Amino acid sequence: MTMRKYTAEAIGTFWLTFGGCGSAVIAAGLPNVGIGYLGVALAFGLTVVTMAYAIGHISGCHLNPAVTIGLAAGGRFPANQIAPYIVAQVVGGVIGGGVLYLIASGKAGFDPSAGFASNGYGEHSPGQYSLFACFLAELVLTAVFLFIIMGSTHGKAPAGFAPLAIGLGLTLIHLMSIDVTNTSVNPARSTGVAVFAGGWAVQQLWLFWLAPIAGGVIGGALYRWLSHEPDGVVIGTAPAE
């Protein structure tokens, strides 16, 4: 059963990286018919919604190291499962990035070093935002994301709607922050494409691990305090990016 959970996390994170980043790499920039920022934002939200319904009952559908760590900080996930979940997520993300690379490289003129949906700050931020601005955006947005996840999966929340709330929350996060960092809030998603873009994408990857994880801890701990959830009581796992 444990290996099934890890496999589910890898498959789910593969889908998030392949589907979300794939929409940005393949479909967002086409002249006249490109899906644009709105389409990319919806794509990321839809990957979460679809996988939450598909594997939420198996692994909780975290798909994101920041979510796994944030849920542990919120008392919803056992600490001894953090490392294997993160390994599974990163493996899934890298496989997703690899499949996307193989497809995208089939087009003449493809150059992964141009970005390949990687996250960046400074000159590599889509809107040229500073390191501080990018760090703060990733920190706050991931904290709010965990707050949404913790609340929508609480035992007293309306049943069956958590995947929609979480997916729409991720869509809104992307609508706000694509121009800032190309939106990470997920170290596995960032790693999955950065390793193929190389260069600056790998050099700046540290921020897209540090800020989301810090934000996840803040969001998880804040909701735990706000809802008065007892220490050591696991109320449930949560589907998320």
pLDDT exceeds 90 at position 139: yes
**Tens of pLDDT along 150-180?**
999 987 878 788 999 999 999 999 999 999 9
**Structure-token pair, residue 117:** 């949906």
- Which pLDDT band, with edges at 50, 70 and 90, does 32 fall under? low
Which residues neighbour 14 within 8 Å (Cβ) at sequence distance 6 or greater?
Answer: 92, 93, 95, 96, 99
| pLDDT tens digits, one per residue of 112-135 | 888 899 999 999 999 999 999 999
* Closest alpha carbon to 62 in 93, 41, 39: 93
* pLDDT class of 31 with cuts at 50, 70, 90: low
Predicted local confidence at residue 230, as pLDDT: 56
Summarize the confidence of residues 80-105 as an average pLDDT.
97
pLDDT at 145: 98
The answer to whether the beta carbons of residues 150 and 76 sit under 8 Å apart is yes
Whether 241 shows a pLDDT value over 70: the answer reads no
pLDDT of residue 184: 97
* Nearest to 88, CA basis, from 154, 17, 141, 145: 17
Please report, rounded to a whole number, the percentage of residues in the chain having pLDDT higher than 70. Answer: 92
Distances (CA, A) of 71 to 14, 102, 121, 134, 240: 21, 34, 27, 23, 10
Confidence (pLDDT) at 36: 87
Q: What is the mean pLDDT of the chain?
A: 91
For the chain, domain boundaries: 2-226
Looking at CATH, the fold of the domain delimited by 2-226 is given as Glycerol uptake facilitator protein (1.20.1080)
Residue 64 contacts residue 169 (beta carbons within 8 Å): no
DSSP per-residue string spanning the chain = -HHHHHHHHHHHHHHIIIIIIHIIIIITT-TTT--HHHHHHHHHHHHHHHHHHHHHHHH----SHHHHHHHHHTTSS-GGGHHHHHHHHHHHHHHHHHHHHHHHTTSTT--GGG-TT----GGGSTT---HHHHHHHHHHHHHHHHHHHHHHTSTTSPTT-HHHHHHHHHHHHHHHHHHHHS--S-HHHHHHHHHHH-THHHHTTTHHHHHHHHHHHHHHHHHHHHTTPPTT---------
